[in-house]
Amino acid sequence: MNEISCRFSEPTRRGLLALLALAGAALPMAAQAQTALAPTAIGIGVPSQAQLGQLIPLQARLVGVGGVPIPKATIYFTSPTTFLNVTGDAVLAEAVTDAQGLATASWRATRTGGLTIQAEFRGDDRYAPAKAAAPLVVGGERQLYVQQVGVRIPALNTAPISGLPILARLWPGLSAWPIAVALLVVWSLYATVVALLWRIAAAGRSVPAVAQLPSLTAGTGSAEGAEVQQ
């Protein structure tokens, strides 16, 4: 393998080392200059009460010095949560501020009780972070889990005509119609057979009764009968 080597004269080497030392001293100063971020303020707007399962609008307004709106900043809406002994802020939604500094999102409340909703700007290379919080009480009781697995086929498992609330509400109960139709066809045929049996019985009534034929239990049948007894 070829070695790449570079040789400098002693004066050049010293000059380079001095230059590196100067640069090293200057870098922390540059970093300090960047930490001088513009202060920000954030306001949060959420309703004070909501129902379980309700879609809740979340708003936050981010402004800089003098109330100047800060656009294109990412705002995180969070809520303090504890799960399996781990505590932290669960992110509910995130949105980017518009020209008025307004970030809008929505979140569906999935548990009841008193919650704290936070709007958080995590800062960037120009603006300092900011955070605001507001209380929210979620009440009510309803089943949130709705089975939505599979393909929705109109007239099979969803209403055949959309836009009719009554039909949409009734259809879950009517969706078994293929099974009902199959059963109806089969049981109708059974009923037809029973009706035919009825007609067989009716046709027999018009014919004179049969005279008694030789009995199995008399005559030669007796020996036979004894022979085949199990």
Partner 1 sequence: MALEADGERGGDMVALKRTGRPGPEYIEGGWQPQLERRVLAPLAGTGPRYFLWLAFLIAVIGWAGFAYLQQWRRGLIVTGMRDRISWGLYITSFVFFIGISHAGTLLSAILRAVKATWQMSITRMAEFITVVALMVGALFPLIDLGRPDRLWNIVVFGRWQSPLLWDLLAIATYLTGSTLYLYLPLVPDFALCRDRLGPQAPAWQRHFFEIVALGWRGTPEQQRLLEHAMTIMMVVIIPVAVSVHTVISWIFSMSLREPFNSTVFGAYFVAGAIFSGIAAIIVLMAVLRRLLRLEAYITERQFVNLGFLLAALALIMVYMNLSEYVTTGYKMNADTAVHFQQLMLGRFAGLFWFYIFGGLVVPGLIMLFPRTRTIRGVVVAATLVLVAMWIERYLIVVGGFSVPLMPYQPAQYAPTWVEWSILAGAFALFALIISVFTKLFPVVSIWEVVEYHQLEAATAVHRPRHGRDRQSAREGTAAVPVTVLAQEATQ
Judged by CB under 8 A, which of 7, 142, 152, 199 binds partner 1?
A: 199
* CB 117 within 8 Å of CB 92: yes
Q: How far is the CB of 151 from partner 1 (least distance, A)?
A: 14
To partner 1, the closest distance from the beta carbon of 142 in angstroms equals 20
Rounded to 5°, the CA angle 30-124-47 comes to 155
Give the angle subtended at the CA of 91 by the CAs of 87 and 95, to the nearest 5°. 155
- 74: burial class by Cβ within 10 Å (0-12, 13-18, 19+)? middle
Is 65 near partner 1 (CB under 8 A)? no
Residue 116 makes CB contacts below 8 A (sequence gap 6+) with 79, 80, 133, 134, 135, 136
Residue 193 binds partner 1, judged by CB under 8 A: yes
β-strand partners of 106: 57
Which pair of structure tokens corresponds to residue 204?
Answer: 């027999």
Sign of the CA dihedral 215, 217, 222, 228?
A: positive
Tell the smallest beta-carbon distance from residue 191 to partner 1 (Å): 10
Rule CB under 8 A: is residue 152 a binding residue for partner 1?
no
> Contact region for partner 1 (CB under 8 A) — 22-30, 42-50, 105-113, 217-225?
217-225
Provide, rounded to whole angstroms, the least separation between the CB of residue 224 and partner 1.
Answer: 5
If binding is defined by CB under 8 A, does position 213 make contact with partner 1? yes
**96 versus 181: smaller Cβ distance to partner 1:** 181
CB of 153 to partner 1, least distance (A): 14
**In this chain, which of 12, 49, 100, 192 binds partner 1, going by CB under 8 A?**
192
Site of tokens 């303090």: 80
Q: How far is the CB of 161 from partner 1 (least distance, A)?
A: 21
Sheet architecture: strand order including 113-121 = 49-51, 130-139, 113-121, 74-83, 86-96
**How far, CA to CA in Å, does 39 sit from each of 17, 49, 61, 123, 149?**
40, 31, 14, 10, 48
Stretch that binds partner 1, among 24-32, 35-43, 56-64, 201-209 (CB under 8 A): 201-209
Mask of contacts with partner 1, 157-176, x by CB under 8 A?
Answer: ------------------xx
Is 194 among the residues that bind partner 1 (CB under 8 A)?
A: yes
Binding site for partner 1 (CB under 8 A): 175-176, 179, 183, 186-187, 189-190, 192-194, 196-197, 199-201, 203-205, 207-218, 220-221, 224-230
